[in-house]
Amino acid sequence: MDVNVPDVVLVFSGKRKSGKDFTTDILLERLGADLCVILRLSGPLKFQYAKENNLDFNKLLDATSYKENHRAKMIKWGEEQRQKNPAYFCGLAIEDASPNHKVWIISDARRQTDVEFFKENYPKQTVTVRVTADDSVRLARGFAHTKGVDDAESECGLDQGVTWDFIVSNNGNMAELEPQLAKIIDHIREMLCKK
């Protein structure tokens, strides 16, 4: 692995519409883009899938029906790639980090192999974070259970088997979210001070 070693690797996981991107975007804003970067494991997956299937990559990145229409096939394709090499998308994602980024925020870990990749390659730097939201909140955010998606490993693979360093409840109440984010930021700063 020929990349720079960060001081902190935050590995985020959560169900669809739990607010992972919202939470990681706030952390990026608070910590600053000079210090940290958001790395999405789904980015390389979507790029390769779009390339092979002549699709609009940018539309696969947003939260529109375009992405939802391709989600099941994209998941199947991604699983085929992971069977060949479980760390394939993790390796591609970290290529986007620069030496200036001391904090990597992995915004979308979905499988045990994703978490294991970072814990094995960056054991002292990795901090795991699970973002949760009540089902009623997820529904209000546009979640609709989709067979073959929400019962697949990409959504359920981390429901068990990981001891999370932080669990963030993100039900849309900033007064409740703020102290949870403050604890994570304090932890990051402590880790950075030790370097």
How many distinct structural domains can be found in the chain?
1
CA atoms of 116 and 22, how far apart (whole Å) = 24
The reply, when asked if residue 78 is annotated as ligand binding, is no
Name the region of 109 (left: φ>0; alpha: ψ -120 to 50; beta: rest). beta
The reply, when asked if residue 51 is annotated as ligand binding, is no
Which CATH number do you get for residue 156? 3.40.50.300
CA atoms of 57 and 184, how far apart (whole Å) = 32
Question: pLDDT higher for 90 or 68?
Answer: 90
* E strands in the chain: 8-14, 36-39, 103-106, 126-132, 166-169
**Which uninterrupted H or E stretch holds 114?**
helix 112-121
Q: What is the mean pLDDT of the chain?
A: 87
The reply, when asked if residue 147 is annotated as ligand binding, is no
What is the end-to-end Cα distance of the chain in Å, rounded? 21
pLDDT at 185 over 90: yes
pLDDT at 2 over 60: no
Tens of pLDDT, residues 143-180: 777 676 666 666 666 778 889 999 999 998 999 999 99
Query: Would 167 be classed as within a structural domain?
Result: yes
Beta bridge partners of 131: 14, 168
The reply, when asked if residue 173 is annotated as ligand binding, is no
pLDDT band at 1 (very low <50, low <70, confident <90, very high): very low
Span 126-137, average pLDDT: 93
Model confidence, pTM = 0.84
Span 12-37, average pLDDT: 93
Query: Would 58 be classed as within a structural domain?
Result: yes
The reply, when asked if residue 46 is annotated as ligand binding, is no
Query: Would 3 be classed as within a structural domain?
Result: no
Domain that holds residue 15: 8-193
